[in-house]
Structures are given as C-alpha cells and as structure tokens.
Amino acid sequence: MNKYLELGQIVNVRGLKGEVKVNSFTDDNTKFERIHKVFVKQKETLKEYEIEKVGYSKTQVIIKFKNINTVEEAETLRNSYILVDREIFGELPEGVYYIADLIGLEVFTEDNEYLGKVNDIFSTGSNDVYVVKDELGKEKLLPGIDEVIKKIDIENNKIIVNLIKGL
C-alpha cells in the first residue's frame, strides 16, 4: 500500500494571485477543505504546501497555496499531482477501499481461473466498473456489485469474482 493518496492533478492557473485549478480524483471535492497541508509531486520530488483557501469552479477545485502569490509561481505547479498522507482520512469502513489500492490486484474466478489485473476503475453512477486487463491486453469490464465481486484480499493482492451470465 502506498503511503500517499493522489487527490488530484493541477491542470492550470486561475487569476493573477497564484491560484491553481485542480482536477479532483476524489468522490467528494469538499475533502480539500478539511486538509491543511498537502504534498505536490513534480516528477519524483515531493514538496509540502499549506492550503490557504479552497474554492470551486464547475467540476474543478480551485486552491490557493500559502506563499504561492503570482501566476508565474503557480504556473510552475502545472501538471503536478496533489498527494496526502493516507492516515489523514483514518480507517475506511469494512468493505470500502481506495481505488489506488485496487489497481494492480490480480483477478481470479471462483474456479481459480486467472483473468488479469485491475487496470482501472470508473464509476457509472449506479456502480463502479472494474477494468481487468489480461497479459495480451484484452480488457474485461466487471461491474462492482456483490453478485460479481466476491472477495477483495488486499494483503494477498487478489480479487475473487463470479462471472455471471453475460460477462
């Protein structure tokens, strides 16, 4: 498990006072309001920043970092990722996982047939969809419902699924 969770990507600047536009990776953008310090990852370096102000514009989060006061300073953060220490959010309820922890898990049927690894997870509104890719690059889409996803075992890097008719 990674020590940090990616909350979003800085994609642009806003205004002249050092604000940045962030594409959020969270299911709840208000999480940014509860965080006071984040790490900004540029290439392989992490630098800690203090959040001064959080706002919203359509689907994006607008962040003003302390000591970033000009458009030129903000521009240096473009295309960087915002990370937080996972301990900030505490323990997740039983059966709830961060997507980052599920990516890369091996997927097997209940008969122990290997299907591939979780390559991505996206939401359709009614449920999540697990994108499982095999060694040949072929993708299988599995709905994230109890009837299909039978067991998630993070410690053993494995997900057991039931391939219902139509999958």
The model scores a pTM over 0.85: no
Q: Is 69 helix (H, G, I), strand (E, B) or coil?
A: coil
CA 42 to chain centre: 17
* DSSP state letter for 75: H
Asked if 153 and 161 touch (Cβ cutoff 8 Å), the reply is no
Superfamily covering domain 4-89: RimM (2.40.30.60)
Residue owning tokens 């299911």: 27
Pairing of strands 139-143, 37-42: unpaired
Asked if 11 and 58 touch (Cβ cutoff 8 Å), the reply is no
* DSSP state letter for 33: G
Torsions phi, psi for 3 (to 5 deg) = -70, -30
Asked if 38 and 21 touch (Cβ cutoff 8 Å), the reply is no
Residue ranges matching CATH 2.40.30.60 in the chain: 4-89
What single string gives the DSSP state of each residue in 85-134?
EGGGG-PPPTT---HHHHTT-EEEETT--EEEEEEEEEE-SSSEEEEEE-
Residue ranges matching CATH 2.30.30.240 in the chain: 99-161
Q: What is the pLDDT along the chain (167 residues), one digit of tens a residue?
A: 678 999 999 999 999 999 999 999 888 888 899 899 999 999 889 999 999 999 999 889 999 999 999 999 999 999 999 999 988 888 888 888 888 899 999 999 999 999 999 999 988 878 899 999 999 999 999 999 999 999 999 999 999 999 988 76
CATH topology of domain 99-161: SH3 type barrels. (2.30.30)
Q: Is 145 helix (H, G, I), strand (E, B) or coil?
A: coil
Residue 72 belongs to what H/E stretch?
helix 71-75
